[in-house]
Every structure is written in structure tokens, then in C-alpha cells.
Amino acid sequence: MEILRGEKDIAMYSMELKEKMDEIGKEMIKEACGLVDEIVRNEKKRKARYEVVRKDKRSIKTIFGDVEYIRTYYKNKEEGGYVYLADEILGIEKYQRIDKAVKAAIVEKVVEISYEKAAKEVLGEEKMTRQSVMNILRRIEAAQLDRIEHNKKGVAGSKKVVKELYIEADEDHISLQNGEGKIAKLAYINEGYKEEKGIVKRKELKGVHYFSSIKERPEDFWSKVSEYIEEHYETEKIEKIYLLGDGAAWIKEGLEWIVGAEFVLDRFHLMREVIKISGGDKNIFAGIVEALRDKDREKFEGLVAKAMEKAGEDKRALKRINESRRYIANHWDNIVLELDNRIIKGCSAEGHVSHVLADRMSSRPRGWSEQGAEVMVKLLSLKYNGVNLKEAYLKEICGKEEKEEKILKEIVRKNVKKIRKQIEETRNNVPILARGKVDLTFRVLKGLSTGDFLNAVVF
């Protein structure tokens, strides 16, 4: 009505509605926490083993905002320890101040934007410091992220069959908080370009899968790549495996781990050196490319000499030419421009490093801790491998451990029906739900207030 009267617009209405929905969310979480605490407190088996000490308030930051609830503190009559049984059931850890759903949403955001922006996107005007976001990431272990990747093994009998497999590798340079620089290794497996009727329509790779790390030794890094190939491909049917890169020692280490792999100097770095030698002379450039294609070392050296003659007394130009000549000469046996009368697929690692790592890790001045950088590059790999980071965080990084206390399992099992009944009564007391008119608001609120919602959030 206020919109129709011109007193507000849809933007103002949306903001007010968001605030109201957040209030409903906070109230429902508070109700759920109170309900669980009440059920535990009234349970006979609890009374036999645990005695009530006191009731305490607790505040926790949720995706709806800060929620304050009351839970009961108990003493174990047999062992003498103290515990908040409701928190055990709710999956709220000791000293936890931020709900895991908030942490999961932030983890999903920080791979794209800064810590501050991620917190603001998730929580709106609710305050959360950069340090708090940093602490969320620091509590993630690189090994946990590796397990997520490992759990995505190929299903038995569904391994891919390909004739050629490409492994492309490059690196990004990361600045640490202590002023040191670190190399972030990136490698990705692919099956070549997508084709339609034999014609490449777009420069889009098939079957891309990323690996990245800062702290791992080259042998550990390539061991994971090798393991992935074994688990996802019929290796005995692969005719050729090409390892493409700029010739760095850590990249060539891959040849020791990828059985049958052949190193090929990637065309991006190769052509960059050819351009440096030619110095803008199109004839020298074309001649060097032809010499490389024909593996004509003598012709290549002649064109280099011609370029140096043209440079004259320019010491900087002569130095540049010599360095590029040495680079190409050192990798001469690894230069492949043509294979079986076709152009070999060029390495696109430089672009992938920029897209996958550099945009977040090094494109703007920032200082990382080594641990934080390691976690971030692995999160980026998981993201580009199609992993739902929010879901992975909740289920595999901070998934609730199995309750050891049999009494807690029994309380939950025995009271599910009672909980559903009380939730139904609470829902029917919400005016917009009680009126029974099925509109958008009704459907949204009913969806939020179902027993399934309770199961998802509480149990």
C-alpha cells in the first residue's frame, strides 16, 4: 500500500523485508535452541546421569545475525565433568562464536573477494573483523582440502579412454607478509580442445582438472597428479602424454612421476623468446619459426647472428638476444611445433595462472601468510574443479563428529516426533502462515519453518 501511495519504492520495501526475514530467522533459531535444551532437561535418562548446575546465556553469529539463547550447564555425576548437552546436540563447539553456516558462506566468498568484502556480503551490516575471517581460513588444514579432492575419485568401471592427455604447468609469484616471495605451482590435466565435426569452434579445453600448491615439494605435487590420472583414465590406452611448460626444474620433475610423459616447451614462452630475438623484424621472426619447425639448428643460429648484427652496439638488445638464444638452445629437444602434420596444442598455462591464481593471489599488492596462501590456492583449485565450497566446508571440513554419548543419541531419537509437533505449533502461531492463504510469502515462511529445516540446521 505504501508503494502504491508513493511513500516508498521496491528498493525500500526489499530492505525492510530482508530485515524482517532476518528477524524471523533469528527467532526460529533461538526457538530451536531453546526447544532442544528443554527436551534434554526433561529427559529421564539425562536426570539419572547428569545434574543441572545452572543456566547460561550464549550468543552466536548466524547468517541471519546475532542470536542469543539460553542453555543448561550440567555436571556428569559419574565422571565429574561439566558439559552443555544442548550444545553437543546442536553441534556448537566450546567457545564457538560464529555459526558454521556463516563460516561456510565466507569460505565460498573469500576465493573471489577480500576478507572484509566477504564478511560484508555474508553478514550485511553485522560486524565481523578481517582477523575473524582470517582465523576461519587458518583453522582449515591443507590436508583437509586434499581429502576433499581425493574423495572425488572416479567410479570403478567409468574411467575415461583418451588417446592423448595434456598436462600444462606454470607458476604464480606470491608475496608473503615477511617480505619473502613464494612460487605457487599450478598444473592442470586436459584432453585437448573441444571439437565439433573435426573443427575447433572455440578455444575451450576438455576434462580440465587443476592442482595447486605453494608448500608441497615437487615430488609430492606430481605424485598427486599421477594418482589422479591412474584413478580417472584407462592409462594403458593413452598413446601420448604431453607435459607442457616453460622448462622450470619443478615442472620437469613431473617426467619422473608421469609414466610415459614427454616434455614439450610451451609455445607461449617459446614465441616470447623468438619475439625478443627478432626485435620486431618480421622476416627474422618468420625464419626462426620455420627453423624451429624444421629442427634446423644451423638456420636458427644464422638468424640469431643476423639479429645481433642488426642490434649493432646496443648492449641491452645484445644481452636480450643472447639470453633468448640460450633459453631456446637449452630446450631445443623439447620444442615441438608440428606433430604428424598437425599443429600441436599450444600451452595455455599462462592464462590459466592469471585466471585461477593471480586474480586473487598476486594481481594486487597484498601479503599472505604461507599457511593462508596454501589454503587459498587449494580452495581456488577446488572451486575451478567444480567443488561446492560451502557444502564441502560444512560436510568435510567441520562436519559434526559422531556423538559418543549414547544418552544424546537416545534423546534425539526419542524426541523427534515431539520436536516436529512443537515446531508445527510454533508455525501455526505465525499469523501469515495460520491464515492459510498460499502466496509467495506463505511458501517462503512455510519452507523455513518445516521440520526438514529443523533437521538441516539442528540435527
* Structure-block grid coordinates of residue 436: 492459510
| Alpha-carbon gap, residue 9 to 233, rounded angstroms | 57
Residues 6+ apart with CB under 8 A from 29: 62, 64, 67, 69, 457
Is the torsion defined by CA of 80, 82, 88, 89 positive or negative?
Answer: positive
What is the tens place of the pLDDT at every residue in 97-143?
888 889 999 999 999 888 888 888 888 766 788 888 888 888 888 88
For the segment 436-450, the average pLDDT, to the nearest whole number, is 58
Give pairs for 391-397: CB < 8 Å, separation 24+. Answer: 391/104, 392/148, 393/100, 393/103, 393/104, 393/107, 393/108, 393/140, 394/100, 394/101, 394/104, 396/144, 396/147, 396/148, 396/151, 397/140, 397/144, 397/145, 397/148
| Range with lowest mean pLDDT among 114-118, 167-171, 269-273, 350-354 | 350-354
Q: What is the mean pLDDT of residues 286-315?
A: 91
Q: How far apart are CA 423 and CA 426, in angstroms?
A: 5
- Whether residue 443 is predicted with pLDDT greater than 90 in this model: the reply is no
Q: Which is more confidently placed, 126 or 301?
A: 301
C-alpha cell at 83: 558439559
Q: What pLDDT shows up at residue 342?
A: 44
**Beta bridge partner(s), residue 73:** 54
Q: Is the pLDDT of residue 433 over 70?
A: no
Whole-angstrom CA distances from 58 to 11, 15, 23, 65, 292 are: 34, 28, 18, 14, 71
The candidate with the shortest Cα–Cα distance to 166, out of 88, 93, 219, 225, is: 225
Give the per-residue pLDDT at 335.
83
Question: Where does 160-205 show beta strands of DSSP type E?
Answer: 164-175, 181-190, 193-196, 199-205
User: pLDDT for 383-403, tens place per residue?
Assistant: 999 999 998 998 888 765 555
- pLDDT (0 to 100) of residue 196: 60
Q: Of residues 209 and 352, which shows the higher confidence score?
A: 209
- pLDDT of 456 reads 37
Provide the whole-model pTM.
0.75
The two beta strands, 342-343 and 338-339, are antiparallel
Q: Please give the pLDDT value at position 278.
A: 92
Write the CA distances from 30 to 79, 244, 319, integer angstroms: 30, 56, 71
Confidence band of 374 (pLDDT split at 50, 70, 90): very high
Domain boundaries, the chain: 1-152+387-427, 156-386, 428-458
Does residue 346 have a pLDDT over 60?
no
